[in-house]
Amino acid sequence: MCVFRMKRGQKRGDKVEEGGGSVSGPGPGAPEVCKRLRRGDSEEREQEDGAVDWGRLPEEILLQIFQYLPLLDRAFASQVCRGWNQAFHMPELWRCFEFELNQPASSYLKATHPDLIKQIIKRHSNHLQYVSFKVDSSTESAEAACDILSQLVNCSLKTLGLISTARPSFMELPKSHFISALTVVFVNSKSLSSLKIDDTPVDDPSLKVLVANNSDTLKLLKMSSCPHVSPAGILCVADQCHGLRELALNYHLLSDELLLALSSERHVHLEHLRIDVVSENPGQQFHSIKKSSWDAMVRHSPKFNLVMYFFLYEDEFGPFFRDEVPVTHLYFGRSVSKEVLGRVGLTCPRLVELVVCANGLRPLDEELIRIAERCKQLSAIGLGECEVSCSAFVEFVKMCGGRLSQLSIMEEVLVPDNKYGLDDIHWEVSKHLGRVWFPDMMPTW
Amino acid sequence: MVVNSVHWFRKGLRLHDNPALQETLNGADTVRCVYILDPWFAGSANVGVNRWRFLLESLEDLDTSLRKLNSRLFVVRGQPTDVFPRLFKEWNVTRLTFEYDSEPYGKERDAAIIKMAQEYGVETMVRNTHTLYNPDRIIEMNNHSPPSHLQKISSHCESTRTSQETVANHYSRANGQISDNHDEHYGVPSLEELGFKTQGDSSHVWKGGETEALERLNKHLDRKAWVANFERPRITAQSLFASPTGLSPYLRFGCLSCRVFYYNLRDLYMKLRRRSSPPLSLFGQLLWREFFYTAATNNPNFDRMEGNPICVQIPWDHNPEALAKWAEGRTGFPWIDAIMTQLRQEGWIHHLARHAVACFLTRGDLWISWESGMKVFEELLLDADWSVNAGSWMWLSCSAFFQQFFHCYCPVGFGRRTDPSGDYIRRYIPKLKDYPNRYIYEPWNAPESVQKAANCIVGVDYPKPMINHAESSRLNIERMKQVYQQLSHYRGLSLLASVPTIQEEAEPPMSDDSQASSSTAGQPSSPTPSPHQPTPAPSTPPNSEPSTPNTSPSAAAPGAHAQRKRVRPSGLPSKQKSKVKHTNQAKGVEQKTDEKQ
């Protein structure tokens, strides 16, 4: 509230002097900064006869302070005096920026003000290094993001993230429009190290441009659900970008060749591979990956995380978990059969984290116990719509013991039996874990 | 001195276990029971016909009971702030009693009335009976903050044992100030009078009133077998249908005292099991109610995302068409549509059904704000308490109270687990009644011949599914991760977010500027993840207390300026609001917002 009062007092209305652009609403901390500033004012007055002249703080100190302030607070501070206004524009403060592009009709959140965007493009685009775009579900917002991207001609980005906060809107843009904006960054930046472009219409030719310009620096590439990329397209990235350490993509892009390319001698150790296995229509057939390719991966990058998200119908699991697979984090987003979970126990020795959102009506007792037996690294588990008898669950926890750092079980999952009731189980499990534990609850309402 | 008492009914529509009403009777020369209702509001309000019917029936029942005691219920038309000065004078009132309302809105309304009563020299007496415990006491005993998880609430205090006496014994004094034209002035209005068209739909399932509530309580307790081998009642297809022993709407309107329910259940359990104390789960629903009442009592923004310090700011989509499909049961998922149909027709759905549709609307599939869902429930759900409704929606949408978000209820599989044969769906969506069990939860997967044989072609007679669940749950899990990863307090709480990533390394060496971009008004002020604190690996030792360290992600959320649109008619009683104070306040806020624009 004091924000408004202050503005009124100063007759500046909405226009924050020069650099701040006008900022569309009071952000976090705005009232505090007012308070702080006012307190500053009065202190200054009190100490007029001597001590501190805030206007003459050395630039380095000012920079230090400004780095800890959110943009809005800096904008207000920039109105205090010329020195602070100059400090507001120091390049160091503009390395990192998150554009939030939301339309009032499709989002509850406010957007980065257009004037601020203009200011940034005009005065600070060459300072930008770490940029992300958060875009709501409207096509206009995605377009706006592309417009900004295509104006970033004199910048050299290190990281770029295109993030859809609701329905993915980049997919609704004409592909060519999106591609041309994205390639502006690829061509000009030359030193991109991190690129997050999940749910976008990026395609093979644009990845070629990426590789041609940024192959030495690229470390992270996230491109889950990019339907216009082919296995050959991603293979080209893996072949050329030897520094790639983290990669996220959909299963249909995963091939033996890709794994071999990532395990080639010239390639650094991979740290992270995330695979989404999504069924487009029921009964879809999935290819399989050779055990030898996974073995090559593990030999080359013994510590890498393999994170797999499954969103499949139960009858589509045929090709999976037949041979050993070095998966570390496993997430079953839809119902998965008892049989498949049984195979998981047999084929996933590196498993660290397991989430089962749903399973049929038969208890998962033997499956869990087998997993406890065979997956010696398992430290986190989550169970949703499943059933486990209380005894089997206690046994499972006992076998895993203290290494289970995350144990998230919906209360309904646990079926009381003659050994343990629901009230006993919290004590029993807490005992084996060595800490207080409760099942997850949903409100009964 | 002559004592002329008025008891003001809002919730607590009963004579049994009603200490405020007892106070009214205490040594009084005249006693009048009033209910204040603004017929003009009724039609325009966001409260559905089922809730109004339930209320009117409850009032009728009160009136009938009072008649037996030679008294009547005075249903006064108007707004409390207008009505009371008139009544105070006309009836020469010296004492006003009512049940304590812990909800922020009610507290404000009551404070205004108490002040007004003082001005008129009327003594006021307020008693807490809508909840087992006094929410303020719980907060006090929990180091001055609402408990962050359920287990805590019960450990804090034992409720005051109630006498369970009904006022009937004391009512002899309540005497004949009933005028001949009572019905004309103070009768319980009909639905038609409130502007509802009722086309002989007399087949409603839930009959309002204390009499019905007490009958149901007896039936409920008669199911001794259940209590005796108490287990969590197994949820079957039958659970989904309205039960003749269901009590939640009666607790909501206070036709049944929650304390009476609690002690009856407890006594029965102890009699049958001879165990010292019954398990917490016996009182699950009651305790959840306490939990949310306590969480809401000092938070006027409890029913919204913006400016609500306990609510995580999630970039929900704004999508009126999708919302309408959900609200009207046209999603193309029979399980979801059947639930929404039952809700609209009968005013009650099972709590698992609530989970299913709430998850579907918010984090599971449609990614639409919980506030929209809460409003639909407020209109349709008989037992929608403001605090419980908002709290449960925040819970289910993973907006507050720290729970795992990895698990989204599947709009196909979840129903099938509960009711494999699909009887529930056939009852509420008769169009699908001839579908074989195999396809009844996913008719779009039925071969054309099956669809033809069932006389219901998907896309023609019944909608196609409005969304691909696999795809949307994949997206939504990612979005949730985005949200939670930004909140450093939540680190390590989420299974999915605990997967380490090298991303941090690529990020800049200085304080993250993401909050910089102007738009995050009301965002919980999360200390920005600093690159020097790497994401904890999954093996990081967890908090010794697994549930949650602390519920207020953003004690400092500067959302106080948030635009306050009082769209909420928080259920019937609070409809009769003391408008004055609010409008002023709202105006004040609006002015400020105007300046902002």
The partner residue sitting opposite B515, judged by closest CB among A28, A31, A158, is A28
Closest CA to A308 of A344, A346, A342: A344
Mean pLDDT of B447-470: 94
Please report residues of B whose CB lies closer than 8 A to that of A71: 513, 515-518
Question: What is the model's pLDDT at position B485?
Answer: 74
Question: What is the model's pLDDT at position B158?
Answer: 55
* Token representation of residue B159: 């409720």
B281–A220 CB contact, under 8 Å:
no
pLDDT one-digit tens code per residue, B292-303: 999 999 999 999
Question: What is the model's pLDDT at position A313?
Answer: 86
Question: What is the model's pLDDT at position B501?
Answer: 55
pLDDT band at B200; cut points 50, 70, 90: low
Lowest-pLDDT range of A201-205, B56-60, B416-420 = B416-420
Residue A296 has pLDDT above 70, yes or no: yes
> Kind and range of the H or E element at B117?
helix B104-119
Residue B594 has pLDDT above 80, yes or no: no
Contacts of A368 (CB under 8 A, 6+ apart): A388, A392, A393, A396
> Kind and range of the H or E element at A376?
none
Question: What is the model's pLDDT at position B222?
Answer: 80
Distances (CA, A) of A53 to A10, A404, B28: 22, 56, 72
Residue type (1 letter), A119: Q
Q: Say if A70 falls within a structural domain.
A: yes
pLDDT band at A425; cut points 50, 70, 90: confident
The radius of gyration of chain B's CA atoms, rounded to the nearest angstrom, is 26
For B152, nearest residue in chain A (alpha carbons): A438
Residue B581 has pLDDT above 50, yes or no: no
Question: What is the model's pLDDT at position B563?
Answer: 34
Q: Say if A120 falls within a structural domain.
A: no
Mean pLDDT of A219-238: 94
Contacts of A426 (CB under 8 A, 6+ apart): A437, A438, A439
**DSSP characters for B201-230?**
----S---SHHHHHHHHHHHHH-HHHHHT-
Residue type (1 letter), A23: V
> Greater confidence, B179 or A344?
A344
> Greater confidence, B541 or A260?
A260
d(CA B505, CA B514): 16
Neighbours of A166 (CB within 10 A): 27
Mean pLDDT of A297-315: 92
Q: Which residue has the tokens 């011949």?
A: B449
Question: What is the model's pLDDT at position A335?
Answer: 85
Q: Say if A76 falls within a structural domain.
A: yes
Q: Say if A74 falls within a structural domain.
A: yes
d(CA B109, CA B8): 13
Residue B320 has pLDDT above 90, yes or no: yes
The partner residue sitting opposite B479, judged by closest CB among A30, A165, A443, is A165
Mean pLDDT of A359-376: 90
Helix A139-151 and helix A175-189: axis angle, to 10°? 30
Residue B347 has pLDDT above 80, yes or no: yes
Angle formed at CA A81 by CA A80 and CA A82, multiple of 5 degrees: 145
Mean pLDDT of A143-163: 91
Q: In this structure, what CATH number is given to the domain that contains residue A75?
A: 1.20.1280.50
Contacts of B262 (CB under 8 A, 6+ apart): B132, B159, B283, B286
The partner residue sitting opposite B316, judged by closest CB among A1, A108, A309, is A108
Question: What is the model's pLDDT at position B402?
Answer: 66
Q: Count Cβ atoms within 10 A of the Cβ of residue A121 and give its class: 0-12 exposed, 13-18 middle, 19 or more buried.
A: middle
pLDDT one-digit tens code per residue, B534-566: 333 333 333 333 333 333 333 333 333 333 333
Distance from A411 to chain B by nearest Cα, in Å? 10
Question: What is the model's pLDDT at position B163?
Answer: 53
pTM of the model: 0.82
Q: Which residue has the tokens 């417009």?
A: A147
Residues in chain B: 597
- ipTM surpasses 0.85: no
- Mean pLDDT, chain A, whole residue set: 85
Q: Give the sign of the dihedral formed by CA B458, CA B462, CA B466, CA B469.
A: negative
Question: What is the model's pLDDT at position A259?
Answer: 96
Question: What is the model's pLDDT at position B198?
Answer: 73
The residue segments making up the domain with residue A70 are: 58-93
CA dihedral A321, A323, A327, A329 (to 10 degrees): 20
* B492 φψ region: left (φ > 0), alpha (ψ -120 to 50), beta (else): left
pLDDT band at A314; cut points 50, 70, 90: confident
Distance from A149 to chain B by nearest Cα, in Å? 17
Mean pLDDT of A18-31: 39
Residue B64 has pLDDT above 60, yes or no: yes
The answer to whether A100 faces chain B, any CB pair under 8 Å, is yes
> Greater confidence, A125 or B432?
B432
Question: What is the model's pLDDT at position A178?
Answer: 96
Question: What is the model's pLDDT at position B556?
Answer: 31
pLDDT one-digit tens code per residue, B407-426: 788 899 889 888 999 999 99
Residues in chain A: 445
B506–A445 CB contact, under 8 Å:
no
- Mean pLDDT, chain B, whole residue set: 77
pLDDT one-digit tens code per residue, B89-148: 999 999 999 999 999 999 999 999 999 999 999 999 999 889 888 888 888 877 788 877
Residue B85 has pLDDT above 70, yes or no: yes
> Greater confidence, B247 or B510?
B247
Q: Give the sign of the dihedral formed by CA B525, CA B526, CA B530, CA B531.
A: negative
The partner residue sitting opposite B502, judged by closest CB among A92, A198, A272, is A272
* Chain A residues 381-400 within an 8 A CB cutoff of chain B: 382, 384-385
Mean pLDDT of B524-538: 32
Residue B378 has pLDDT above 70, yes or no: yes
Distance from A123 to chain B by nearest Cα, in Å? 16
* B459 φψ region: left (φ > 0), alpha (ψ -120 to 50), beta (else): left
Question: What is the model's pLDDT at position B195?
Answer: 81
Q: Count Cβ atoms within 10 A of the Cβ of residue A421 and give its class: 0-12 exposed, 13-18 middle, 19 or more buried.
A: middle
Please report residues of B whose CB lies closer than 8 A to that of A272: 499-502
The partner residue sitting opposite B404, judged by closest CB among A385, A408, A435, is A408
pLDDT band at A419; cut points 50, 70, 90: confident
Please report residues of A whose CB lies closer than 8 A to that of B318: 105-108
* Chain A residues 330-359 within an 8 A CB cutoff of chain B: 331, 333-335, 352-353, 355, 357-358
d(CA B357, CA B53): 24
DSSP, res A438: -
Give chain A's domain count.
1
* Token representation of residue B146: 């609402």
Q: Say if A361 falls within a structural domain.
A: no
Parallel, antiparallel or unpaired: strands A414-415 and A406-409: unpaired
d(CA B54, CA B48): 10
Q: Count Cβ atoms within 10 A of the Cβ of residue B485 and give its class: 0-12 exposed, 13-18 middle, 19 or more buried.
A: middle
Question: What is the model's pLDDT at position B180?
Answer: 79
* Token representation of residue A404: 């289970």
* Token representation of residue A80: 């205090």
Question: What is the model's pLDDT at position B558?
Answer: 31
pLDDT band at B234; cut points 50, 70, 90: low
The answer to whether A419 faces chain B, any CB pair under 8 Å, is no
Q: Give the sign of the dihedral formed by CA A126, CA A128, CA A129, CA A134.
A: negative
The percentage of chain B sitting over the pLDDT mark of 70, rounded to a whole number, equals: 72
Q: Say if A400 falls within a structural domain.
A: no
Enumerate long-range contacts of B485-488, CB under 8 Å, 24 or more apart.
B485/B529, B485/B535, B486/B514, B486/B526, B486/B528, B486/B529, B487/B312, B487/B524, B487/B526, B487/B553, B488/B526, B488/B527, B488/B528, B488/B529, B488/B533
* A35 φψ region: left (φ > 0), alpha (ψ -120 to 50), beta (else): alpha
* A94 φψ region: left (φ > 0), alpha (ψ -120 to 50), beta (else): alpha
Q: Say if A75 falls within a structural domain.
A: yes
Mean pLDDT of B518-535: 33
Q: Give the sign of the dihedral formed by CA B527, CA B533, CA B535, CA B539.
A: negative
- Give the A:B interface size as CB pairs under 8 Å: 307
Question: What is the model's pLDDT at position A22?
Answer: 38
The percentage of chain B sitting over the pLDDT mark of 90, rounded to a whole number, equals: 43
Q: Say if A339 falls within a structural domain.
A: no
> Greater confidence, B539 or A271?
A271
The percentage of chain A sitting over the pLDDT mark of 70, rounded to a whole number, equals: 88
pLDDT one-digit tens code per residue, B496-519: 554 555 544 434 434 333 333 333
pLDDT band at B229; cut points 50, 70, 90: low
d(CA B472, CA B474): 5
B559 in Cβ contact with B240 (< 8 Å): no
